[in-house]
Amino acid sequence: MFRELLERWPVVKQIRSGDLRATGETAWSPQTHELRPKIHDCEQTRSICPYCGVGCGQVIYHKDNRIVQIEGDPDSPISRGHLCPKGADTKELHTHAHRLSQVKYRRPFATKWEPLDLETAMDMIAHRVWQTRKHSFTEQQEGEPVMHTQAMAHLGGATLDNEENYLIKKLFTGGLGMVCVSNQARI
């Protein structure tokens, strides 16, 4: 009993292990030994920060279908594990209490937003795009063929990749005749 107590005495542990300043394991309590990082038993998925065009790499740590943490991806050749304060807080995009998870619509002249189901919102957008194109499409200008509409524009997102931008350009310019297409919101 006495020997057991003596061996738990920090000074004895320090002398035995050579940790005379008590900055190593001798300063650890049993609780400290049990501590694990919160990402300890999470699965990892690689992704890209959605905020701006730099496209920093991220590692998403998740468990039981819940995001536990999002950190910089050390394997990303773009950012090498770093994230700016905005990117470092990406988890809040998913978990913040003020996150909108439903389409909001403000009718003409209304002062308040109202919830709308996604299916209805998509139908409304498609209808308006088609109507706008129908009424504004110009085949000729000053005797020259132009085949375009200047009544609509497209503003993309920062993490659109080459393939997505290719398809957007095909649809909006080739298909609908839009000339104002920007591939991303500016940083």
Burial class (CB in 10 A: 0-12, 13-18, 19+), 102: exposed
Query: Reading across the β-sheet that carries 138-141, which strands appear in turn?
Result: 138-141, 144-155, 178-182
Burial class (CB in 10 A: 0-12, 13-18, 19+), 39: middle
| Number of residues forming the site for ligand SF4 (CB under 6 A) | 11
Shortest separation between residue 184's beta carbon and ligand SF4, angstroms = 11
Q: Does 160 bind ligand SF4 (CB under 6 A)?
A: no
Q: Does 86 bind ligand SF4 (CB under 6 A)?
A: yes
**Which residue carries 């008590």 as its tokens?**
22
Q: Does 87 bind ligand SF4 (CB under 6 A)?
A: yes
Q: Which is nearer to ligand SF4, 43 or 89 (CB)?
A: 89
Q: Does 55 bind ligand SF4 (CB under 6 A)?
A: yes
∠ CA 45-86-96, nearest 5°, is 75
Q: Does 54 bind ligand SF4 (CB under 6 A)?
A: yes
Return residues touching ligand SF4 (CB under 6 A): 49, 51-52, 54-56, 79, 83-84, 86-87
